[in-house]
Amino acid sequence: MIAYKGCNTWAGSRLCGIYSVPSASTKGFSDGFIPRQLTLDTSDTPSDSKRNLIAFTSLRDGNWEAYVMDLNGDGVRNLSNSPNSDDGLPTLSPDGYWVAFVSNRGGQWAIWAAPAVGGEVQKLFDLPTNAPWGTGDREWINERISWGP
């Protein structure tokens, strides 16, 4: 399965959000194949998937938050749930049970983690500077983090 941010311009309605397509599909639009829309918020941006989950960042609750949902779009969970900060760039741990994300809660950019099923967030470490991002195409929302061994 491939998840991507897009708009259904092929249908003329410009419904934007996260879409999915099977990774092994050999069909195209000319064969009647239509990607499946999973979310309806234009800010939803997928960043990772593992263990039948898609991690994504969204403004759907009024500020940037880190979310996960099932591959079919059900079970959307706000993992960061911090209305007074920007949270995002979620990435799933190799086993898919944890989600790491960036947050500026408390006034300092740091890496945090939460169970993929939801629960208490934990601060892992501060980033080396409180302004680790650039501007324009280097703004924080355009960056990515990954979980390594």
CATH number for the domain running over 43-142: 2.120.10.30
Task: Tell me the HSE value of 143 on the side-chain side, using a 13 A CA sphere.
Answer: 14
Name the residue with tokens 């080396």.
128
Q: Report helix, strand or coil for 11.
A: helix
- The residues spanned by each domain of the chain are 43-142
Over its length of 149 residues, how does the chain's per-residue pLDDT go in tens digits? Answer: 889 998 887 666 678 999 998 877 666 655 656 788 999 999 999 999 998 999 999 999 999 999 999 999 999 999 999 999 999 999 999 999 999 999 999 888 999 999 999 999 999 999 887 776 777 767 777 788 888 77
Contact between residue 40 and residue 73 where contact means Cβ atoms under 8 Å apart:
no
| pTM, full prediction | 0.87
